[in-house]
Amino acid sequence: MIRWYWAGVLALALLSFLSIFVGVIDLSLRGLWRDPEALRLIGISRFPRTIAAVIAGATLAIAGCVMQMLVRNRFVEPMTAGTGQGAALGILIVTIFAPQASIFLKMVLASGTALVASLGFLEIVRRLPPTQPLLVPLVGLVYGGIIGAGVVFVAYQADLLQFISVWLNGEFSGVLRGRYELLWLAAAGAALTYFAADQFAIVGMGRAVTTSLGLNYKQVVLVGLVAISLISSLTVVTVGIIPFVGLVVPNIISRLFGDNLRQTLPLVAMMGAGLTLASDIAGRLIRFPFEVPVGTVLGVVGAVIFLRLLYRTPRYA
Amino acid sequence: MFRAFALSLTVMTMPAFAETVEIDTYIGAAEVTVQPDRIAVFDIAALDTLDALGIEVDGVVSPLSVDYVSDTAEGADPVGTLFEPDYEAIAAGGYDLLIAGGRSSRVVPELSEVASTIDMTIWEDTVGQGLARLNAYGEIFGKQDEAAALQVTFEDALDAAKAAVADEGSALIVMTNGPTVSAYGANGRFGWLHTALEIPEAVEAVEQATHGEAISFEFIRDANPDVLIVIDRAAAIGQEGDAAAMTLDNVLVHETAAWSNDKVIYLNSANVYIANGGMQSMTQIVSQFATKFAD
């Protein structure tokens, strides 16, 4: 296990290093120490982008992992539960009613609506019969679809359909100092889930087991869902919807190392971060000096991995 | 009554076989009956030019996206949206001529089954095709003089703009969309801003792409354009340029010559994007350049 931790840390460090030196403006390692311009560029653009990819990837993977535990279904991720649509709704509302608001303020407000949408989902889920775990993702899809339909209707009327879809398309090209800091909140949220890791792992074994082990099932689920909503809403409004990370990474880790979340969550985080960072670097290089959105790169890579997972199913997890 | 009289006058003054006129459309030359009685319009650029010519429209799509054509569209019957014509309404409307183009060009075959249809798409050569459409409408509706006058107005405005930007240096066309930016080149859908106004490109590698190339702010700083032409995707609502300025207002863009010399020009996205090639749209845009860069 320790071996894998080190491998993860090493890979992540390597990718971060690459990420800092890949970009449109030339940056050489040699001149770095003498060149204040280069350090400034790293501070303004490269470091925020690298850290944004790391946080977004890691937190989305963790959110996916926790959600899969909570609803006991391996093919669920938060984006299929109305969070993304809630964020879209917020961006739409704030664009229509307060177009003068700064981008950061828009992000804060949209995170709010995404959180409200997620809490709405939570309220619905609490009323579902606990014996039917599959209802949760299904209801999530329907719920997200309804909010999404409303967003599309209003956006179409206001001629903002493309605006919304481009805003929500996951990419890091807009990340600069001052435009990503909300992600630190998501990181804090993800870090907090680590303290409840054991509880989530137990909830993953079912309500009966959880209760007989003396845990308050409802309370653990509530804490988990709030954490998930917070993480995904902040990620969506800051960098857009990044597909597959929350779905694929927890599955791979779970197959390799099982479901002891206290041990595996760091691996989940590192793999999510690495996958996202690698995709972003690839997106910056494929059509240099232009960009391919990370959402597009991951859409392709993630789909391939996901299909592989579906076809090779050692269902012991 | 008057219309019938006017029509018979036109018919009489022309040779008997000239009830139709040959015009250039996007898909080649077409024979069109002159002075059609009832027309429906499925393209905003077409509506823009017809509005400029003072031609009445009996059916029109909605939403219009640009505000300056609303008086012409006011009395017209709805015939669906740009992407989805309402065939029932069109069949019931008894139109003599349907004018499609751009976003509605793919439904031209279907529209042709209902009534005589022309595809007036303006695409590769915005200015050239825009003027060709203007003259075609002039021919069809017997408004050749008005069309010629509009062409002169536009060309004067274009010359003024050209003179104004002549010594401004190179430019980069970007479209802002929320927090992100994409770039357009001289071959893209807004390329006529480079070619017609004769502004050199700050970056020559931007390929021909309908939706632009996603770029980073580092790209803009590295390109360091003297002029930044900004198309604000969110300007459909609110003050134009506001949201775009917010997106571009960052340390990297501040370092470009364009930003530090206040040579950033914000274009209304509906004008340049939806009504691209319409006479009023083009005249307004070049006038905006003339005003911005007048010394």
pLDDT digits over B87-120, tens only? Answer: 999 999 899 999 998 888 889 989 989 888 899 9
- Kindly report, residue by residue over B179-228, the tens digit of the pLDDT: 889 898 887 788 889 988 889 888 876 665 566 788 999 999 988 999 99
B49 occurs within a structural domain = yes
Closest of A195, A215, A189 to residue A204, by C-alpha = A215
The answer to whether residue A40 is domain-embedded is no
Q: Using the beta-carbon criterion (under 8 Å), do B246 and A103 form an inter-chain contact? A: yes
Domain membership of residue B158 (yes or no) is no
Tell me if the bond preceding A78 is cis, omega within 30° of 0.
no
Does B290 reside within a domain? no
* Domain hosting residue A79, numbered range: 1-21+46-308
Greater pLDDT, B258 or B178: B258
- C-beta neighbour count of A33 within 10 angstroms: 9
Residue B218 belongs to domain spanning: 169-262
pTM of the model as a whole: 0.83
pLDDT in the model for residue A130: 67
Q: Which amino acid is at A121?
A: F
For the segment A103-128, what is each residue's pLDDT rounded down to a tens digit? 778 878 888 888 788 778 878 877 87
Question: How high is the pLDDT of residue B31?
Answer: 85
In a shared domain, residues B173 and B116: no
Q: Is residue B115 part of a domain?
A: yes
Q: Is B201 left (phi over 0), alpha (psi -120 to 50) or beta?
A: beta
Q: Give the Å distances, CA to CA, from B182 to A166, B176, B213, B214, B244.
A: 11, 7, 5, 4, 12
Each residue of A3-32: pLDDT tens digit?
A: 889 998 999 999 998 888 888 887 776 666
Q: Residues B263-289: pLDDT tens digits? A: 999 988 788 888 888 999 999 999 999
Whether B46 and B123 share a structural domain:
yes
CA atoms within 13 A on the CB side of B286: 28
Per the CB < 8 A criterion, the answer to whether B191 and B168 are in contact is no
Q: Is there a contact between A174 and B178 if contact means CB atoms under 8 Å apart? A: yes
Residue B17 scores a pLDDT above 60: no
In a domain, A51, yes or no: yes
| Domain contains B221 | yes
At A259-302, the pLDDT tens digits run: 888 889 999 999 999 999 999 999 999 888 888 889 889 989 88
pLDDT of residue B10 exceeding 60, the answer is no
Whether A30 is covered by a domain: the verdict is no
Which residues of chain B make contact with A160, given a CB cutoff of 8 A? Answer: 234, 236-237
Q: Is residue A314 part of a domain?
A: no
Mean pLDDT for B160-183 is: 89
Please give the tally of structural domains in chain B: 2
Structure tokens that stand for A115 in this block: 């959180």
Q: Say yes or no for a CB contact (<8 Å) between A25 and B179.
A: no
Residue contact A95–B243, C-beta within 8 A: yes
Check which CATH number belongs to the domain holding B178 and give it: 3.40.50.1980
3-class DSSP state of B25 = strand
What's the pLDDT at B47?
92
Distance CA A98, CA A101 (A): 6
Report the candidate in A253, A272, A266 with the shortest Cα–Cα distance to residue A5.
A266
Q: How far is A201 from chain B (nearest CA, A)?
A: 38
Total domains, chain A = 1
Q: Is A171 on the interface with B (CB under 8 A)?
A: yes
Rounded Cα–Cα distance for residues B124 and B265 (Å)? 23
- Chain A residue numbers touching B251 (CB-CB < 8 A): 44, 176-177
Count of Cβ atoms closer than 10 Å to residue A232 Cβ: 33
Q: Which range among A244-258, B206-220, B243-257 shows the weakest confidence by mean pLDDT?
A: B206-220
Report the CATH number that the domain containing residue A103 is assigned in CATH: 1.10.3470.10
User: Cβ of A105 under 8 Å from any chain B Cβ?
Assistant: no
**How many residue contacts between A and B have a Cβ separation below 8 Å?**
105
Residue B228: its pLDDT value, please? 93
Q: Considering the domain boundaries, does residue A32 fall inside one?
A: no
Q: Is A21 on the interface with B (CB under 8 A)?
A: no
Q: What is the structure's pLDDT at A101? A: 78
In a domain? residue B229: yes
Instruction: Indicate whether B130 and B195 sit together in one domain.
Output: no
> Mutating which of A291, A294, A296 best tests the B interface, going by the most B Cβ atoms within 10 A?
A291
What angle, rounded to 10 degrees, do the helices at A261-286 and A47-71 form?
A: 140
pLDDT of A317 reads 47
Task: Report yes or no: B204 at the A interface, CB cutoff 8 Å.
Answer: no
Same domain, B38 and B97: yes
* Same domain, residue pair B136 and B178: no
Q: B283 lies in a domain?
A: no
A180: in domain: yes
Contacts of B29 (CB under 8 A, 6+ apart): B22, B23
Q: Is B270 on the interface with A (CB under 8 A)?
A: yes
Whether residue B208 sits in one domain with residue B144 = no
The residue of B83, B180, B268, B273 whose CB has the most chain A CBs within 10 angstroms, and thus the best one to mutate to test that interface, is: B180
Identity of the residue in B63, B178, B216 whose CB atom sits nearest the CB atom of A163: B178
Question: In this predicted structure, what is the pLDDT of residue B6?
Answer: 55
Q: Confirm whether A185 is domain-assigned.
A: yes
- Tell whether A102 lies on the interface with B, counting CB pairs under 8 A: yes
Let me know if residue B159 belongs to a domain.
no
Give the residue, A72 or B35, on which the prediction is more confident.
Answer: B35
Q: Report in angstroms the alpha-carbon separations of A235 from A41, A57, A70, B131, B248.
A: 24, 9, 20, 47, 21
**What angle, 0 to 180 degrees and rounded to 10, lies between the N-to-C axes of helices A217-239 and A103-126?**
150
- For residue B180, list chain A residues with Cβ-Cβ distance below 8 A: 166-167, 171, 173-174
Residue A53 pLDDT grade (very low, low, confident, very high; cuts 50, 70, 90):
very high
Residue B16 has a pLDDT of: 47
Q: Would residue A39 count as lying in a domain?
A: no
Task: Note whether B178 contacts A91, CB cutoff 8 Å.
Answer: yes
